[in-house]
A and B are shown apart, each in its own frame.
With several copies, the nearest count.
Chain A
Amino acid sequence: MASLAERRLTIVQNEVESMSEARPEELRLLEALLFASAEPLDETVLAARLPADTDVGDALNRLQAEYAPRGVNLVRVAGKWSFRTASDLSWLLTKDSVVTRKLSRAAIETLAIVAYHQPVTRVEIEEVRGVVASKGTLDVLLETGWVRPRGRRKTPGRPVTYGTTEAFLSHFGLERLDDLPGLDELKGSGLLDGRLPAGFAVPVPSDDPALRDDEDPLEPGDLDFGLAPPPSRVEE
């Protein structure tokens, strides 16, 4: 009796063990999907391709851990997953780099203001920089696909508000906007609350596509200036 029970227990344990030894198939599937895709994929998309009972989150974490020491890492950007070359190997690969557009100082500053202060209007950007923005600067940023018009501020003149895109997060390897470097410091400094009266909460930048209370949606014509990337790229 006892020996039978023992034997059965052994069998069960062996099974469990061999299962943990073998690399689960879902890791192969995830690997294949993520390697093949040019764009980061979110968990919903991945889950749709995997067997119904797969714990996608868990599998992704395992895969991420597996690839962490490798030359290709699994990273999470803009809430989506993507394989990218390890960041310490940039020296090896810079020869491959397509000529990246060198942004002007004005564009870089403007990008930072949009990123850390979004949603933000052009006048607000100008106010921070103390210069009338040349029209070209915002155009360049819209062209990169990192900045998009979000809506219109509910103030006289209904100026367009700008924010960053998923492509921005993806380009700078950020999982969320909260991961912007130096954001906490900037928030803590109280310098972001520019025009707001003292006592108001410090605004936190947000690229939440949901419009804020003081924003109206863009009208159909607003995107037809040739300035903005097509909406499909914005939403991504």
Chain B
Amino acid sequence: MTPGDLPFEMDVAERAADEPALVVDVEGFEGPLDLLLVLARQQKVDLAKISILALANQYLVFIEEARKLRLELAADYLVMAAWLAYLKSRLLLPETSGPDGMSAEDMATALANRLRRLEAFRHVAEQLLVRPQLGRDIFARGQPEPIAEIKHPQYSATLYDLLSAYAVQRQKSVLGHVRFAKRTVWSLAEARIALERLLGQAADWSRLDQFLLAYMVEPALVPTVVASSFAASLEMVREGVAELHQHAAFAPIYMRRRMVVREVTSDSGATPSPRAT
């Protein structure tokens, strides 16, 4: 571990709360290393040969000056100042080994190396930034032409899907047909309504099967229409509402309103022709 690490590790926890304050605490320097680098450049010598002692002195003087001018300095700078003061005292004293086994010279070299490293990164950063940059110096095609995607659908279904779909439908359609058959039945009530309509419009004998033709367009309906209307007509005769007439077996059946009832229902059966009869 480089000695310089100490202050910064300490800072991490402290600083987390209000980081922005850190950025420009001392007139635009980006931290103590940055300040040291600037001071080092003033010595105008290679960083490898720099006098760390002189640099430490400069830094401490700078901090002292800054303190006089300002009320507060970021802790980084003060910690670095404390560390440099310690280093300075070690450098001035006869050679001893520090608590971590490093000589004062080692500590100085480590600091110099950190400065060199920061400088080196700054140097490559500059080189990187002067490269032609995309969107600044060089440009990609301004109107790229999209690749049109042609989608080929591939369908998937399992045999189980297929079989259950079939079974479900067949089962459903079986039930469906039963319901349909029910609907093909012409109920007695329906037949009666139709027959009453017939009696209402025809004064004289009307042929039943001809009248019913209109209801027998659907072949499936023929038997039920015939059966229901016959049953209904018998019922109407029984009630004394209608009369039926047939010449012979299987001959056409004729039907007419029964006259007696006419008076009873005269205001409803408003056709003039029955009166004439």
Contacts and interface: CB of A to CB of B under 8 A. Distances in A.
Direct contact of A and B (CB under 8 A): yes
A180 B151 CA distance: 32
Contacts of A101: 153-156
Nearest to A144: B155
Given A181-B163, A192-B167, A234-B153, A128 B121 contact: yes
Most buried by A among B2, B159, B162, B169: B162
Nearest to A231: B152
A83 B140 contact: yes
Given A87-B137, A112-B166, A173-B134, A96 B124 contact: no
Please classify how large the interface on chain B is, using the bins under 10, 10 to 19, 20 to 34, 35 or more: 35 or more
Interface in B139-165: 139-159, 161-165
A106 B22 CA distance: 12
B132 interface: yes
A189 B116 CA distance: 9
B31 interface: yes
Contacts of A113: 121, 166, 169
B73 interface: no
B139 A112 contact: no
Nearest to B117: A191
Contacts of A130: 4, 8, 31-34, 36, 76, 114, 118, 172-173, 176
B68 interface: no
B138 interface: yes
A54 interface: no
Contact of A84 (B8, B20, B140): B140
Contacts of B114: 128, 130
A117 B136 CA distance: 25
A95 interface: yes
Contacts, number: 280
A99 B151 contact: yes
Given A101-B154, A127-B8, A130-B173, A112 B142 contact: no
Interface string A123-166: 10011111110111000100110100000000000000000000
Contacts of A70: none
A109 B163 contact: no
Contact of A38 (B138, B144, B168): B144
B143 A182 contact: no
Nearest to A235: B151
Interface in A177-236: 180-183, 185-186, 189, 191-197, 200, 202, 231-232, 234-236
Interface in A84-122: 84-87, 90, 93-103, 105-106, 108-109, 111-113, 115-117
Please classify how large the interface on chain A is, using the bins under 10, 10 to 19, 20 to 34, 35 or more: 35 or more
A131 to B, nearest CB: 3
A171 interface: yes
Q: Is the interface of B mostly helix, strand, loop or mixed?
A: helix
B135 interface: yes
B122 interface: yes
B132 A112 contact: no
Contacts of B142: 35-39, 96
B162 A112 contact: yes
Most buried by B among A126, A193, A231: A126
B120 to A, nearest CB: 5
B176 A186 contact: no
Nearest to A143: B153
A200 B173 CA distance: 11
A95 B138 CA distance: 12
B117 to A, nearest CB: 4
Nearest to A140: B155
B174 A196 contact: yes
B124 A132 contact: no
A127 B176 CA distance: 10
Interface of A: 32, 35-40, 82-87, 90, 93-103, 105-106, 108-109, 111-113, 115-117, 123, 126-132, 134-136, 140, 143-144, 146, 170-174, 180-183, 185-186, 189, 191-197, 200, 202, 231-232, 234-236
The 10 closest A-B pairs by CB, nearest first: A130-B33, A131-B31, A112-B125, A38-B144, A112-B166, A90-B137, A36-B139, A191-B167, A36-B145, A181-B127
15 contacts: A35-B142, A84-B145, A98-B153, A102-B157, A106-B30, A108-B165, A109-B165, A112-B121, A127-B2, A130-B34, A143-B155, A172-B162, A173-B133, A182-B127, A189-B120
Given A94-B147, A97-B151, A115-B162, 18 more contacts: A35-B141, A37-B143, A82-B143, A85-B139, A95-B148, A100-B133, A103-B156, A103-B157, A105-B165, A108-B165, A115-B166, A116-B121, A128-B173, A132-B11, A136-B19, A182-B124, A192-B167, A195-B2
